[in-house]
Structure 1
Amino acid sequence: MMNKIKNVCVVDDDELFQFVMRQHFERLELVEKIHKFTDGEQALNYIKQNLNKPDNLPDLILLDVNMPYMDGWQFLREYVKLSLPAGKQIKVYVLTSSTHESDLQRAKEFPFLAGYLVKPIGKNIIKEILTELLPA
Structure 2
Amino acid sequence: MSKNLMKESVEAVCQLAMIDDNPIEHMLVKRMCQTQQIFSNATHFSDARVMLNQLQVRNNCGTQTPDVILLDLQMPEFNGWDFLEQFENVYKSLDKKVCVYVFSSSIDPADKKRSQEFSFVSDFISKPMRKETLHMIYEKHAIAA
TM-score (norm 2): 0.86
TM-score (norm 1): 0.91
Identify which of 7, 11, 15 aligns with 1:7: 15
Larger strand percent = 1
SS at match of 1:114: strand
User: How far did 1:111 drift?
Assistant: 2.5
Runs of 4+, deviation exceeding 2 Å: 52-55
Match of 1:44 in 2: 52
Q: For residues 78-108 of structure 1, what are the alpha-carbon distances to aligned partners after superposition, in whole Å with 9 as ceiling and x for unaligned?
A: 11101112xx121110011011022112112
Preserved contact between residue 14 and residue 141 of structure 2 (Cα < 8 Å): no
Determine the C-alpha separation between the residues in 2 that align with 1:135 and 1:53: 26
1:116 aligns with 2:127: no
1:97 aligns with 2:105: yes
Q: How many positions carry a matched residue from both structures?
A: 134
Preserved contact between residue 10 and residue 35 of structure 1 (Cα < 8 Å): yes
Aligned-residue sequence identity (percent) comes to: 28
Determine the C-alpha separation between the residues in 1 that align with 2:134 and 2:53: 25
Structure 1 unaligned regions, length at least 5? none
Determine the C-alpha separation between the residues in 1 that align with 2:28 and 2:62: 27
Q: Tell me how large the CA RMSD over aligned residues is.
A: 1.5
Determine the C-alpha separation between the residues in 1 that align with 2:111 and 2:36: 30
- Residues 58, 98 of structure 1: alpha-carbon distance in 2 compared, 3 angstrom cutoff: same
Matches within 5 A, 1:53-92: 53-82=61-90, 83-85=93-95, 88-92=96-100
Larger helix percent = 2
SS at match of 1:92: strand
1:17 aligns with 2:25: yes
User: How far did 1:54 drift?
Assistant: 4.7
Determine the C-alpha separation between the residues in 2 that align with 1:96 and 1:135: 25
SS at match of 2:128: coil
Determine the C-alpha separation between the residues in 2 that align with 1:125 and 1:53: 33
Determine the C-alpha separation between the residues in 2 that align with 1:7 and 1:54: 15
Give the letter aligned to residue 80 of structure 2. Answer: G
